[in-house]
């Protein structure tokens, strides 16, 4: 090799930036990227999600557009839009607006809480809004349960008309404790910014429970692209301004199925009334009636895995369960998900100890006048409802349980230490 050419090659190697060296460990890179999101003080993330669920005789496709923008001074903007619902929550730090485009309605109130969704009762039409809110949390905690990951060949992908050089990571979530499915993931990570710009997941061998107790094989593939990922970057004031469309009407609260029906509204809150009889069917087909639990108090939680406030209640509810189960309080949860196996995976992963039942046709929620979730229902030993509230907080539930009898009086304190707690 001629000397000048060899010298140029050596110089080129010496001038290479240390940052251009590829990472050697895929899991270490995944943890680094997750920490990048967790450490950010402000963020602007936009995502486009596409789901395809199919088996031999069926195919279903969904698409969602999500936006979440948060600044440390109390300004935020969350948007979620899908074929089943659309909602926007915007705050300039002083005023918060909630807008439902499909209903042409919006609310306006002071921005007084760090959590814009505190006390909010969520309906299924607001599911994409919850997905938008969860964008950062999902990224910041993506590596939490991953045990190992591998590199696939690097790729250059087109994103919003621009070419992005990416590391590609592949991993498989730990198998569900139900044994019914696993999640397989592929992530594309921008080499320069160390942010996720695309994900692909395949939920293999999932099942949809039939009414007769059988199982139908189902596979779900989800592709998510992130055309905008800006961490710790300034955001223009216009992102936090809301100008109501000409056809939008200001309301004090959004109507639900009860406010549209004045006669039903009178009986929406069941506190003080006898609990209705319902039949709870377990996955193995065993039937339990609510009346068979008479003689001890029972707490019922109506929830769904797609409902972020419901999910955020689970740690507090689990702590309460440990404090109250040995005192005689029965626990039951009833989910409002489309796929019962998604629920089974969540319950197994989070070690939820009480029995859960699937409300496939909505009849269980209807019996308890479920307008939104989370809905907590507390029933005393005589079968009378003593607490019935959507969008409740753990402190409210503690206070209600403490009134059941002297054996529960210690539950009123949020600092109560569960028996046998570590």
pLDDT in tens, 341-377: 778 877 877 788 899 999 888 889 889 988 778 899 9
Closest by CA position to 230, among listed 67, 415, 49, 396? 67
| Mean pLDDT for the stretch of residues 83-102 | 92
Assess contact for 199 and 184: CB atoms under 8 A: no
Helices 394-402 and 308-324, axial angle in degrees (round to 10) = 30
DSSP 275-327: PPP-EEE-TTS-EEEGGGGTTS-EEEEEE-TT-HHHHHHHHHHHHHHHHHGGG
Output the six-digit token pair for 294.
């008479």
Task: In whole angstroms, give the CA distance from residue 213 to residue 334.
Answer: 17
Q: Give the pLDDT band of residue 393 (cuts 50, 70, 90).
A: confident
> Which pLDDT score is estimated for 119?
57
pLDDT in tens, 129-138: 888 988 888 8
Task: In whole angstroms, give the CA distance from residue 112 to residue 43.
Answer: 21
Q: Give the pLDDT band of residue 205 (cuts 50, 70, 90).
A: low
CB-based contacts of 95-98 (< 8 A; 24+ apart in sequence): 97/242, 97/244, 98/254
Closest by CA position to 385, among listed 374, 372, 371, 369? 369
Output the six-digit token pair for 400.
């209600």
| Mean pLDDT for the stretch of residues 140-152 | 85
The yes-or-no verdict on residue 178 having pLDDT over 50 is: no
The yes-or-no verdict on residue 189 having pLDDT over 80 is: yes
Q: Tell me the percentage of the chain whose pLDDT exceeds 70.
A: 81
Q: Would you tell me how many other CB atoms lie within 10 Å of the CB of residue 398?
A: 21
Residue 302 burial (10 A CB sphere; 0-12, 13-18, 19+): buried
Beta strands 215-231 and 249-250: pairing type?
unpaired
> Which pLDDT score is estimated for 63?
94
Closest by CA position to 275, among listed 390, 212, 364? 364
| Mean pLDDT for the stretch of residues 407-413 | 85
> Which pLDDT score is estimated for 207?
47
Task: In whole angstroms, give the CA distance from residue 305 to residue 204.
Answer: 19
Q: Would you tell me how many other CB atoms lie within 10 Å of the CB of residue 147?
A: 9
Q: Would you tell me how many other CB atoms lie within 10 Å of the CB of residue 276?
A: 15
DSSP state of 233: -
DSSP state of 122: B
DSSP 123-153: PGGGHHHHHHHTHHHHHHTTTTT----EEEE
The yes-or-no verdict on residue 112 having pLDDT over 70 is: yes
Q: Would you tell me how many other CB atoms lie within 10 Å of the CB of residue 58?
A: 10
CA-to-CA dists, residue 132 to 64, 187, 297, 371, angstroms = 10, 19, 37, 22
Assess contact for 321 and 331: CB atoms under 8 A: yes
The yes-or-no verdict on residue 385 having pLDDT over 90 is: yes
Task: In whole angstroms, give the CA distance from residue 254 to residue 257.
Answer: 10
> Which pLDDT score is estimated for 265?
39
Q: Which domains does the chain have, with CATH numbers?
A: 20-250 (2.50.20), 272-412 (3.40.30.10)
Task: In whole angstroms, give the CA distance from residue 324 to residue 320.
Answer: 6
Assess contact for 176 and 212: CB atoms under 8 A: no
Q: Give the pLDDT band of residue 126 (cuts 50, 70, 90).
A: confident
The mean of the pLDDT values for the chain is: 82
Q: Give the pLDDT band of residue 241 (cuts 50, 70, 90).
A: very high
Q: Would you tell me how many other CB atoms lie within 10 Å of the CB of residue 141?
A: 13
Assess contact for 69 and 239: CB atoms under 8 A: yes
Helix or strand holding residue 15 (H, E)? helix 3-15
Q: Give the pLDDT band of residue 233 (cuts 50, 70, 90).
A: very high
> Which pLDDT score is estimated for 49?
96
Helix or strand holding residue 215 (H, E)? strand 215-231
Output the six-digit token pair for 276.
């209705």
């Amino acid at each position: 090799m001629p000397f000048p050419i060899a010298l140029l090659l050596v110089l080129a190697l010496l001038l290479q930036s240390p940052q251009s060296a590829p990472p050697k460990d895929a899991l270490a890179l995944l943890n680094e990227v997750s920490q990048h999101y967790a450490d950010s003080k402000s963020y602007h993330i936009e995502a486009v999600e596409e789901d395809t669920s199919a088996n031999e005789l069926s195919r279903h496709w969904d698409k969602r557009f999500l936006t979440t923008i948060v600044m440390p001074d109390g300004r935020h903007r969350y948007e979620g839009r899908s074929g089943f619902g659309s909602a926007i929550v915007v705050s300039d730090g002083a005023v918060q607006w909630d807008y439902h485009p499909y209903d042409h309605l919006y609310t306006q109130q002071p921005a007084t809480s760090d959590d814009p969704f505190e006390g909010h009762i969520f309906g299924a039409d607001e599911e994409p809004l919850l997905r938008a809110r969860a964008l950062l949390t999902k990224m910041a905690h993506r590596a939490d349960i991953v045990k190992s990951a591998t590199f696939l060949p690097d790729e250059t992908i087109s994103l919003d008309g621009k070419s992005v050089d990416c590391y590609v990571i592949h991993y498989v979530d730990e198998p569900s404790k139900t044994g019914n499915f696993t999640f397989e993931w592929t992530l594309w990570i921008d080499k320069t910014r160390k942010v996720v710009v695309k994900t692909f997941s395949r939920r293999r061998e999932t099942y949809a429970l039939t009414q007769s107790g059988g199982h139908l094989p189902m596979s779900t593939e989800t592709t998510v692209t992130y055309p905008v990922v800006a961490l710790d970057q300034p955001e223009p004031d216009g992102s936090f301004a809301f100008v109501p469309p000409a056809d939008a009407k200001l309301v004090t609260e959004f109507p639900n199925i009860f406010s549209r029906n004045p006669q039903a509204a009178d009986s929406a809150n069941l506190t003080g009334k006898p609990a209705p009889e319902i039949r709870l069917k377990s996955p193995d087909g065993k039937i339990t009636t609510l009346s068979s639990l008479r003689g001890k108090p029972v707490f019922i939680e109506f929830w769904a895995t797609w409902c972020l406030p419901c999910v955020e209640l689970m740690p507090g509810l689990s702590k309460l369960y440990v404090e109250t189960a040995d005192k005689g309080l029965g626990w039951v949860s009833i989910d409002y998900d489309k796929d019962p196996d998604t629920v089974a995976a969540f319950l197994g992963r989070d070690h939820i100890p009480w029995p859960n039942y699937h409300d496939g046709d909505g009849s269980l929620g209807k019996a308890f006048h479920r307008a939104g979730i989370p809905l907590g229902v507390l029933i005393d030993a005589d079968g009378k409802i003593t607490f019935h509230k959507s969008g409740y907080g753990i402190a409210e539930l503690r206070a209600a349980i403490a009134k059941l009898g002297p054996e529960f009086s210690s539950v009123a304190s949020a600092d109560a230490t569960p028996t046998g707690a570590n």
